[in-house]
Amino acid sequence: MTVTKFKLVKNVIDLGVNGKVAKRTVQTFIDCIVDSIKRGEKVQISGFGTFIIREKKERMGRNPKTGAKVLIPAKRVPAFRPSEMLKERIKKGVSANERK
């Protein structure tokens, strides 16, 4: 099962928030994370994890069809590092609603 943006919005609506406000809230949250990591800032959410940009260096690759060597350019890629608390909750199988 996949958690979609629609399901996230539905969860916010289930808390008693108006549908339009819930949709705007989820979208604003996502936009804030994306805009921050695009600027190279790290986004740290306590108890959840950290979103960062990783710099991949230029490297030599190989075309799988021809076997020819190809230069792969340097690039920036988004990455996520889960917090220790998140790792522990996953390990124990504890959901947010069961947490004490």
- Tens-binned pLDDT, residue by residue, of the chain (100 aa): 899 999 999 999 999 999 999 999 999 999 999 999 999 899 999 999 999 999 999 999 999 999 999 999 999 999 999 999 999 999 998 666 665 4
Domains and CATH numbers, the chain: 5-92 (4.10.520.10)
Q: What pLDDT sits at residue 98?
A: 60
State the amino acid at position 4 in one-letter form: T
Secondary structure of residue 44 in the 3-state scheme? strand
Q: Which helix (H) or strand (E) holds 25?
A: helix 19-38
Whole-prediction pTM: 0.74
